Chain A
């Protein structure tokens, strides 16, 4: 249906600039009010970060496969820094080890998951999931600030935390990659990786 026409107010033989194209991207910088919020531009969504953190912290909560579609590295970065900071509180300046092990571990998991899953997975997604599931390890290293982990209590606690981390990571991976029945196969390499982090915390 035709929309009601506005009455033509110009003159017949004079062209009028009636149509101004407003391109969404190029005109953003012009108007201050039109700019998106800073966090949205940076891609940091606090609600999603909180959702993913809760998914990690509740081991029995069913993971939603779609939450890992967006690659968010802000949360994992914060968690790695917090892990390094708690190690610093215990007198161990090992940021380099944390960085190296997480890089190599993410690369290894990326290769393995690409080989094991029907659909591929991106490196950012793997790094994001492994980073989020480092959160219980921060609890372990903060415990190690006050108490020594080298006794029997320490061994049991470490085993429990490693199991928690790898269980959460494998839960998210299999729900995101639709690999039912292979949770143990995904959990084991995650357990090895988090075991190395635990070694740094203990010794």
Chain B
């Protein structure tokens, strides 16, 4: 009969010592019964047995380690015996509780998935929203619709960062306390998040119907005008052109945002407060961005176009060789003097 012996192969959860069939075959125990299943280790049926063997070897290792650890007198922070064990248990429990709290808080607040619905957009939608952000709509009796998405505004803020970086690099701006990248990111994100929060707070005071997400989206899309103006005027340095664009393009995007807010606010004072604040901040930001990172370029242009002075010119010094004794002059002056002497 070549049928495999069932019991040894059938045990799955670590054979109990009473069976002994599998174990004793491996360890060469005193049984004369040979498990036919284990004779041929290339057959598929020994796969589970190999797995069991792995498990057993691993458990043995763990047991050995645990025994070794316990043999070290069971000390815990210098306290032996019962006190040590008790303190170890308390420390373990505290650790587990702390870990549980931390992971609960993390999964609640740092769950990035709550932002997932705001990034679900199509390219055509983004394009149409970009264009619409430059077109003010005159309907003020009913609340105007605001697209509640964050992809477009986030990309516009990053574009503004890139344009600022480009402008700073072309104008050789030197930032002493910090880096160019840090300054650009801080300025743009600070404006977007800070002014959105401030206007949202004012909207709360003025009882306007707008949520934080809508405010972020509105202001984000309003930066499209800023991107256009800065992109053009960082490359074409004409003051008149900048003021024209500031009024036209900046004004259009501000009007759009103002119209939306007016349609969502009741009462003339509240409307004036809210929209006046937003318009002022938005237009002044564009002015600031242009002039803060553009001054250096202006400086260089003035020097170059001044009265016929090339930027750097080496003029040979006129050293009065005849009037002074040679010993007073240093080596450089001596060399220069020698070259300047009439040949």
Interface residues of B in 6-42 (CB under 8 A from A): 24-26, 28-32, 34-35, 38-41
Q: Which residues of B contact A (CB under 8 A)?
A: 2, 24-26, 28-32, 34-35, 38-41, 43, 50, 53-54, 112, 115-116, 119-123, 126, 151, 155, 158-159, 162, 165-166, 169-170, 181
Known: A192-B159, A192-B162. A15 touches B28 (CB 8 A): yes
Residue from the list A5, A21, A189 in contact with B155, Cβ < 8 A: A189
Across the interface, which residues of B come within 8 angstroms of A147, CB to CB? Answer: none
Interface residues of A in 116-156 (CB under 8 A from B): 116
Across the interface, which residues of B come within 8 angstroms of A182, CB to CB? Answer: 122-123
CA distance A42 to B170 in the complex (A): 44
Across the interface, which residues of B come within 8 angstroms of A202, CB to CB? Answer: 169
Total residue contacts A-B, CB cutoff 8 A:
74
Look across to chain A and name the residue whose beta carbon is closest to the beta carbon of B125: A185
CA distance A111 to B39 in the complex (A): 54
User: A203 touching B39 by the CB < 8 A rule?
Assistant: no
Known: A184-B123, A189-B158. A23 touches B54 (CB 8 A): yes
The 8 A CB mask of A9-45 against B (1 = contact, 0 = none) is 0001111111111110000000000000000000000
A195 adjacent to chain B (CB < 8 Å): yes
A196 adjacent to chain B (CB < 8 Å): yes
The 8 A CB mask of A174-189 against B (1 = contact, 0 = none) is 0000000110110011
Across the interface, which residues of B come within 8 angstroms of A116, CB to CB? Answer: 119-120, 151
Please classify the interface of chain A as helix (H, G, I), strand (E, B), loop, or mixed, using the class held by over half of its residues. loop
Closest 5 CB pairs of A and B: A19-B38, A115-B119, A203-B169, A184-B123, A2-B2
A71 adjacent to chain B (CB < 8 Å): no
Q: For A22, A185, A196, which residue has the most chain B Cβ atoms within 10 angstroms?
A: A185
Known: A114-B112, A185-B151. A21 touches B41 (CB 8 A): yes
Q: For A17, A114, A192, A199, which residue has the most chain B Cβ atoms within 10 angstroms?
A: A199
Look across to chain A and name the residue whose beta carbon is closest to the beta carbon of B161: A192
Across the interface, which residues of B come within 8 angstroms of A5, CB to CB? Answer: 2
User: B122 touching A199 by the CB < 8 A rule?
Assistant: no
Across the interface, which residues of A come within 8 angstroms of B26, CB to CB? Answer: 19, 21
User: A111 touching B112 by the CB < 8 A rule?
Assistant: yes
User: A195 touching B41 by the CB < 8 A rule?
Assistant: no
User: B115 touching A192 by the CB < 8 A rule?
Assistant: no
Instruction: Other than A3-B40, A15-B29, A192-B158, give 11 A-B pairs with Cβ distance below 8 A.
Output: A17-B28, A19-B25, A19-B26, A21-B53, A111-B112, A181-B123, A182-B122, A185-B122, A185-B126, A189-B155, A203-B170
Across the interface, which residues of A come within 8 angstroms of B29, CB to CB? Answer: 15
CA distance A62 to B24 in the complex (A): 59
Look across to chain B and name the residue whose beta carbon is closest to the beta carbon of A17: B28
Across the interface, which residues of A come within 8 angstroms of B151, CB to CB? Answer: 116, 185
CA distance A95 to B53 in the complex (A): 51
Across the interface, which residues of B come within 8 angstroms of A157, CB to CB? Answer: none
A112 adjacent to chain B (CB < 8 Å): yes
Residue from the list B25, B32, B38, B112 in contact with A115, Cβ < 8 A: B112
Could you list 17 A-B pairs, sorted by A, with CB under 8 Å?
A3-B40, A15-B31, A19-B25, A21-B41, A21-B50, A111-B112, A114-B112, A115-B119, A116-B119, A182-B123, A184-B123, A185-B126, A185-B151, A189-B158, A192-B159, A196-B165, A203-B169
